[in-house]
Amino acid sequence: MSKNILKHLAIIMDGNGRWAAKRNLQRTKGHEQGIEQIREITTYCATHKTIETVTFYAFSTENWKRPKLEVNFLMKLLDKYLQQEFKIYQKLDTRFQAIGDIKKLSKNLQKRILEIEELTKNNKSLTQILALNYGGRAEIISTVNTLIAKGKKEITEDDISESLQTPYSDIDLLIRTSGEERISNFLLWQLSYSEFYFTPTLWPDFSDKELDEIIQNYENRTRRFGSVE
């Protein structure tokens, strides 16, 4: 039996707050450590022989319900991350893209996102996607409304798939850290036939070594896509 080929990996990064609480630290320390793991996992993916795209669930449409101080910290942390990460994107030949309704972010952060997207658009080894102010239902609704506005009278699956913000491919493998076993409104359309892997590891403790083991598990799974063996 041939091994499954992993091209598009998606990750729900969960557990920053619990990681900090276990160490009697402020939640912000967990988010700071979580940023370091994004860098480590992106570096792994950029050098992996088959991975073409990695999508991280960074900030959902529901995350605005968190305390205002925490939300403000996350926005500043993201801006700082993008500033620091540009050189690494170039070094790894990685393209950066954001998905979600970034118009609700600050003007400065929107500018930063668009600037890094433009400066890395020709990089080839990997595409790193950050889902920011993202919700799967909102993405599908927006896509359908866009197609209607273009005059589409009848909308097909291909129309939607080709018009989503992540048109690269369906997701091959979704990983969620921290032991939670749900997808939380993430990439609902793209996950239709994905393989799922839930790990109890909190995101700041998630390593490239564990990712490598999960990918080996994925490669040996039987994927039927609705058919029989």
- As annotated, the active-site residues are 14, 63
Closest CA relative to residue 196, chosen from 160, 229, 171 = 171
Query: 124-139 burial string, b = 16+ CB within 10 Å, else e?
Result: eebbbbbbbbbbbebb
In the numeric block, the tokens 């991975």 are attached to 51
C-alpha triplet 44, 48, 54: angle, nearest 5°:
65
Query: 54-81 burial string, b = 16+ CB within 10 Å, else e?
Result: bbbbbbbbebeeeeeeeeebbbeebbeb
List % helix, strand, coil for the chain (3-state, nearest 5). 50, 15, 35
What are the tokens at 161? Answer: 């798939």
CA distance linking residue 8 with residue 173, whole number of Å:
7
Give 53's strand partners. Answer: 8, 127
**Contact predicate 172/7, CB 8 Å:** yes
CA distance linking residue 229 with residue 225, whole number of Å:
10
In which element (H, E) is residue 10 found? Answer: strand 8-12
